[in-house]
Structure 1
Amino acid sequence: MSAELFLEIGTEEIPAGFLPRATADLKRLLGKELNGARLPHGEMRTFATPRRIAIAIADVADHQERQEVTLSGPPVSAAFDGDGNPTKAAIGFAKKNGVEVDQLQRITTDKGEYLFISQVLEGRPTAELLPEMLPRVIGAIPFQKSMRWKDLDVRFARPMHWIVALYGGQTVPFGFGSLASGNTSYGHRFLAPGPFTVGGLDDYLAQTEKAYVIADAGRRKAMIAEQVARIAAEEKGELLEDEELLEEVTNLVEYPVALAGSFEEKYLELPRELLITTMREHQRYFSLVDAKGKLLPRFITVSNNRVDDPAVVVQGNERVIRPRLSDAMFFYEKDQKVPLESRLEALKNVVYQAKLGTSFEKVERFRTLALGLARQFEP
């Protein structure tokens, strides 16, 4: 017999960059535990949002597989005296393993003849193993940075608020920090913050979606891609493809809602890369271009909230990006007033590396190398 194993760890907002590795590590660690415990299982699926990490494993055996083990004992020469009577070595080995001396077997190896015994270890029920296994797995998930909370002797990426642990629809009881596992999860922090009961993976996915949480990161990513592409078309533009930004935004929201905003055309005078970087790195905005690839004074943001009046959210984002672009324009114009060549002298006061001199000396070395390469490739 087998059943589904489901685990969800509910937390405060985990940084987007932590989630892909965390889900991979959870899958690896739990798979290693199950395999080490001789528990066959089926497909493993992981789920993650900023406030939860979850895994579902199909067809986990309800009992450990039986295991036949061979236990080596003392050499025959030390196990019996000259009259063939068992010595303390043989008697002790038999007693230790719960058998009589006449049940011991002999095996010939390169080192001589030894006593041994074969035993079949009966497996333990999975329901007994999981309460030991799951807290061990949770505590072993590595993060770039982890934290403690309250006065607890446990660490995680962010403080935990709940744990759902089910095997065959029944709660797997264990504690982690100050939390006790159960069958209760929670919805979107703003749209549906209340609790709901989980019965298994299918029920979990249905319940979380009702509570405005798209737990499947792949589905959430597809939703965002579809929304931003549709809005780009509505804005008479084309989306500037950015897979890395799409991945990051996917892990910043639980319920994505894409919205379009605008900024003053005067900021289009900024270099393309500077304008894109300012919107991308500071605000996680997608950029829009026209048919010729020229940037448009528009952007797309992905909100983690569904509101009655989206214009309020758009206006808020427009207010935020305006000073960002203003700063970019200010520093760009300031930099243009000073020729790049004039900054070389200042590099003499910047130590590049204690044993490698200043940044000016590094530039000179690069210049010499570049001239040498240019001569080699000169037609």
Structure 2
Amino acid sequence: MQNKDVLFEIGLEEMPARFLPGTIEQLETKTAAWLHELGLSFEKVVVQGTPRRVAVTIQSLSDKQPDIEEEVKGPAVRIAKDDAGQWSKAAQGFTRGQGASVEDIFTKDVDGTEYIFVKKFVKGQPAADLLPSFKEVLLSLHFPKNMRWGSGSLRYARPIRWIVALYGEAIIPLEIAGIESSNLTYGHRFLGSTAAIDNPGAYVSVLEEQFVIVDQKKRQQMIIDGIRQLETANGWQIPIDEELLEEVLYLVEYPTVFHGNFADSFLDLPEEVLITSMKEHQRYFPVTDASGKLLAHFIGVRNGNSEHLENVARGNEKVLRARLQDAEFFYAEDKAQPIEKAMEKLSKMIYQVELGTLQDKVDRVTKIAKMISETAGVDQETASRAERAASIAKFDLVTNMVNEFTELQGVMGEKYARHFGEDERVAQAIREQYMPLSSHGALPESVEGTIVSIADKLDTIIGSMVIGNVPTGSQDPYGLRRQAVGIIQMLAKTDWQITVEEIVERTAALFEKNALPTVEKDVYTEDVRSFFHQRAAQLLKEEGISYDVVEAVLAIQIGNYPYTLAKAKTLQALRNDENFKTVQEALGRVINLAKKGTDQGVDESLFENEQEKQLYRMLEQNKTAYLDAASKRQAKEALDTLAAFADSIHAFFDHTMVMAEDEKLKTNRLSLLNQLAALILSYADVTKVQWKQVQ
């Protein structure tokens, strides 16, 4: 028999655009895995999707599984034969279970023991018999949100309306939620109709006749081509936002690009308001001139053909005009309300039941910002601007514009702050408080913005932890992980002598002072420590640092993150350095043995040999140089200082019994090692590093 193509299409009520990229990726991966598990060979798996359907085509599927002959191991010969040398009941039962007889038995040695074997022939099943099980692949898909419909119990992205299942020209029998498979598909909701598919190869062309471009790559190119044609014809610049393009792509089945206009007077509104109204609310692409200045036009994508496109444009212009008129009114109203008047409303808005109002949050963030400024040692003018920015950072949340366009929080705060005469850097910091907007988004450019952003995020994270709201699994409704990553990223670009632990502890102390924690201190302290440790480890791994080095530099604390990153890179580079092996061994011995005692002070009069004296002298002489390098974040120089101890450490252990019977000698030697270990551990716990020496 010849290989045939296979088609599965599941038709649904319109799915949200955000569901489709992940669904397409899942279906491709799961289909390939299913085929490999069944042992069916194929040429290619192609997955396509529109808002109303997801389809998978399996090209050139083999007609059956391969026949398999395998050797099956049974019991050991000593069990398989009785005392008379005959096959035992165990052997007979084994062969029957494999569809063979004792005449088929042969023996083989396995690790010095003789076992019985039989050859088992497994005939491959026809693909036609296996394909109905694809139902389980379709049911295994998971979506951001599921729903139930009718009286059924199935939960799925949207109600299922039809199923196409073809193996060549034959219909594959399967049923899901009362819908039985057929060769009938449905075209565009308004322009198309029911259509029969004779074979999988005709699927794309049949749907195109029904005004459905099922291939998302072709659909995307149609949108881009349409935009570029308008750009060329009118001399416009139309920046294509990739996120908007993907969303529009999965909102339409048959894209037609059109343009519309709005009144020039609306260009007096802030550009961000216009763009947000177009992109976020209407899914339009803004238009600019060659210099990047916004023009009074927009680009839309219709789910349909080019007939009556003028009416479509007029309808969209009407909708946008209403939105922009509202924005115009909101903008005027907001500019008539001073910042202090807006701030009065924050005390009446609950931020979080256990943590109080938005004004309570603002008060805390202002104190945290002041603490960060002091800890970082910024100049007084910068500190004053940061404190002012923190104290009014949330005033725009009560404005009409942000109430209507929540995406503009901070953005409108910056514009209104300028309008009311605030310092330029104060205004900038109000916008930058929300940065970064994603795990690797742009960071604040100003020092004031960095301070306020860190303060705001610390308040959110620590506040959540002290009342027991700790992210679990994939659940992180407040974006705490992203905010913690943002804090560390912002610290990474500063030259502040500041540690993560210091600002975290001082923030927690603020909540304790106000008696806000609802969980035990040791519980939330560990939650916070573990939470930031995981985020720092994540960032270090993204820098190419191996797991063991990450654990080494984070063993005691995150510390000053820029310095921690520099230490990690230094150690990472040494993992293949044969010359560093003896250094690692020396430093590691100090750390391990120091655990057997504590630092109770070193008495030089108790030293019994020159090696003890030499090691102590080196410690006293080199400590200052090490701490100086560490304070300057000179990771290589600091490690070089520690490496210089290696010979003296080896000599010390060669000539000194640390665990001496004399308790005073033992305590003194352990104190010496503890002082040195403290220095080493402040750099990294080198015992955790798996040194990969070149062979």
Report the TM-score, using the length of structure 1 for normalisation: 0.91
CA distance in 1 between partners of 2:105 and 2:144 (Å): 53
- Matched with 2:220 is 221
- Matched with 2:409 is none
- Matched with 2:85 is 84
- Matched with 1:109 is 110
- Matched with 1:198 is 197
Q: Deviations over 1:52-102 (max 9, x none)?
A: 111111111001012233333222222222221222211211222222223
After superposition, the Cα gap between the structure-2 partners of 1:373 and 1:181, relative to the gap in structure 1 and judged at 3 Å, is: farther
- Matched with 1:277 is 276
Greater CA deviation, 328-337 or 24-33?
A: 328-337
Q: Deviations over 1:274-315 (max 9, x none)?
A: 210111111101100112211111111111123642222112
Q: Deviations over 1:26-48 (max 9, x none)?
A: 11111111110000101111111
- Matched with 1:41 is 42
- Matched with 1:335 is 334
- Matched with 2:173 is 173
Report how far residue 240 of structure 1 moved.
Answer: 2.4
For the residue of structure 2 that corresponds to 1:322, the secondary structure is helix
Greater CA deviation, 286-295 or 355-364?
A: 355-364
For the residue of structure 2 that corresponds to 1:306, the secondary structure is coil
Report how far residue 157 of structure 1 moved.
Answer: 1.2
CA distance in 1 between partners of 2:377 and 2:335 (Å): 30
For the residue of structure 2 that corresponds to 1:302, the secondary structure is strand
After superposition, the Cα gap between the structure-2 partners of 1:369 and 1:207, relative to the gap in structure 1 and judged at 3 Å, is: same
Report how far residue 340 of structure 1 moved.
Answer: 4.6
1:121 aligns with 2:85: no
1:360 aligns with 2:363: yes
Report how far residue 135 of structure 1 moved.
Answer: 0.9
Matched ranges for 1:154-303 at <5 A? 154-192=154-192, 194-303=193-302
**Count of aligned pairs:** 376
1:8 aligns with 2:9: yes
Greater CA deviation, 117-126 or 341-350?
A: 341-350
Contact 2:256 2:306 in 1 (8 A): no
Report how far residue 142 of structure 1 moved.
Answer: 1.1
After superposition, the Cα gap between the structure-2 partners of 1:373 and 1:125, relative to the gap in structure 1 and judged at 3 Å, is: farther
Report how far residue 25 of structure 1 moved.
Answer: 1.0
Report how far residue 212 of structure 1 moved.
Answer: 0.9
CA distance in 2 between partners of 1:246 and 1:142 (Å): 24
Instruction: Give the AA of the match of 1:88.
Output: K
- Matched with 1:136 is 136
Report how far residue 109 of structure 1 moved.
Answer: 2.7
After superposition, the Cα gap between the structure-2 partners of 1:355 and 1:70, relative to the gap in structure 1 and judged at 3 Å, is: farther
What percentage of aligned pairs have identical amino acids? 36
1:369 aligns with 2:385: no
- Matched with 2:152 is 152
For the residue of structure 2 that corresponds to 1:56, the secondary structure is strand
CA distance in 2 between partners of 1:113 and 1:69 (Å): 18
CA distance in 1 between partners of 2:378 and 2:268 (Å): 34
Contact 1:187 1:213 in 2 (8 A): yes
After superposition, the Cα gap between the structure-2 partners of 1:245 and 1:370, relative to the gap in structure 1 and judged at 3 Å, is: farther
Structure 1's unaligned 5+ residue stretches are: none
Report how far residue 370 of structure 1 moved.
Answer: 5.2
Rg larger in 1 or in 2? 2
Q: Deviations over 1:241-286 (max 9, x none)?
A: 2111111101101111111111122221121122101111111011
CA distance in 1 between partners of 2:265 and 2:373 (Å): 38
CA distance in 2 between partners of 1:230 and 1:351 (Å): 49
CA distance in 1 between partners of 2:370 and 2:209 (Å): 62
**Larger % of strand: which?**
1
Report the TM-score, using the length of structure 2 for normalisation: 0.51
Structure of higher RCO (CA pairs closer than 8 Å, 6+ residues apart): 1
For the residue of structure 1 that corresponds to 2:87, the secondary structure is coil
Contact 1:78 1:89 in 2 (8 A): yes
CA distance in 2 between partners of 1:283 and 1:363 (Å): 37
After superposition, the Cα gap between the structure-2 partners of 1:102 and 1:373, relative to the gap in structure 1 and judged at 3 Å, is: farther
Report how far residue 204 of structure 1 moved.
Answer: 1.5
- Matched with 2:544 is none
After superposition, the Cα gap between the structure-2 partners of 1:119 and 1:330, relative to the gap in structure 1 and judged at 3 Å, is: same
Contact 1:40 1:60 in 2 (8 A): yes
Contact 1:38 1:65 in 2 (8 A): yes
- Matched with 2:325 is 326
Contact 2:183 2:196 in 1 (8 A): yes
CA distance in 1 between partners of 2:210 and 2:377 (Å): 62
CA distance in 2 between partners of 1:136 and 1:44 (Å): 17
Instruction: Give the AA of the match of 2:262.
Output: F
CA distance in 2 between partners of 1:374 and 1:212 (Å): 63
Instruction: Give the AA of the match of 2:53.
Output: R
CA distance in 2 between partners of 1:57 and 1:326 (Å): 52
Contact 1:352 1:359 in 2 (8 A): no
For the residue of structure 2 that corresponds to 1:190, the secondary structure is coil
Q: Deviations over 1:153-205 (max 9, x none)?
A: 3332111211111112221122122111111111111112x211112343121
Cα root mean square deviation, aligned: 2.4
After superposition, the Cα gap between the structure-2 partners of 1:367 and 1:207, relative to the gap in structure 1 and judged at 3 Å, is: farther
For the residue of structure 1 that corresponds to 2:290, the secondary structure is coil
After superposition, the Cα gap between the structure-2 partners of 1:84 and 1:281, relative to the gap in structure 1 and judged at 3 Å, is: same
Contact 2:168 2:200 in 1 (8 A): no
After superposition, the Cα gap between the structure-2 partners of 1:369 and 1:334, relative to the gap in structure 1 and judged at 3 Å, is: farther
Contact 1:348 1:359 in 2 (8 A): no
For the residue of structure 1 that corresponds to 2:299, the secondary structure is strand
- Matched with 2:635 is none
Greater CA deviation, 323-332 or 256-265?
A: 323-332
- Matched with 2:465 is none
Instruction: Give the AA of the match of 2:21.
Output: P
Instruction: Give the AA of the match of 1:27.
Output: E
1:316 aligns with 2:315: yes
Contact 2:99 2:120 in 1 (8 A): no
Greater CA deviation, 137-146 or 97-106?
A: 97-106
Greater CA deviation, 269-278 or 299-308?
A: 299-308
CA distance in 2 between partners of 1:361 and 1:48 (Å): 48
After superposition, the Cα gap between the structure-2 partners of 1:60 and 1:363, relative to the gap in structure 1 and judged at 3 Å, is: farther
Structure 2's unaligned 5+ residue stretches are: 380-493, 497-695
Contact 2:35 2:41 in 1 (8 A): yes
